[in-house]
Amino acid sequence: MAPRCLEEHIDDKSMPLIQIVSCVILLIVANGAPVIAAGLFKSHWKCPIDGGHLFFDGRPWFGFSKTWRGIIAAMLATSLVAILLGNDWQLGMFFAGLALLGDLLASFAKRRMGIAVSGRAWLLDQLPESFLPVVFLRDAIGLSLMEVFIVVGAFTILDLALSPVLYRLNIRRRPY
């Protein structure tokens, strides 16, 4: 997963670190692109994935903050960044799709637990969206199972640490 132009200059020992960092970057892009798109486009193209429909329990399937605009932004941005990291755009597309699937599963679970839209659920907000793409694409990326857990842990720590900073910079609407 190292950029092709660097592969001949990198020894085998540093490859896992580059792959881990690349995966964390892709996770940040896949999860950050919808937030950036929401800030840029405000209410334009803000169509909820669940169409505003309610589940059997009377709660939203996912909530108004999960939009088609966010999915498109994440898939395009992650595909572009995957290319910049020396990978095929398809890897970025699948990576983003799996990260967003994990995010939707977490949102669905949070709604069932009675947690409000954009409410916080420690680890449920980070684990599915980071674990799904990394574990399902680990062979394509070239990660060991231990490296999968390192990527998921690094992303989780970064998300928890950077969220308050992004809030203070007015990039996020909540400090979590």
Per residue in 115-147, pLDDT (tens digit) is: 988 788 889 999 999 999 999 999 999 999 999
Whether the predicted pLDDT of 6 surpasses 70: no
Mean pLDDT of the chain, nearest integer:
89
**Residue 91 located in a structural domain:** yes
Whether the predicted pLDDT of 3 surpasses 60: no
Q: How many domains does the chain have?
A: 1
**Residue 3 located in a structural domain:** no
**Residue 7 located in a structural domain:** no
Backbone angles phi, psi at 24, to 5 degrees: -65, -40
The secondary structure of 4-28 as a DSSP string is HHHHTTS-TTTHHHHHHHHHHHHHH
Q: How do residues 38-88 score in pLDDT, each as one tens digit?
A: 888 888 888 999 999 999 999 999 999 999 999 999 999 999 999 999 999
CA distance 168 to 154: 22
CA distance 139 to 141: 5
**Residue 6 located in a structural domain:** no
Q: Would you state the pLDDT for residue 44?
A: 82
Residue 114 CB coordination number (10 Å): 9
Containing structural domain, residue 146: 13-168
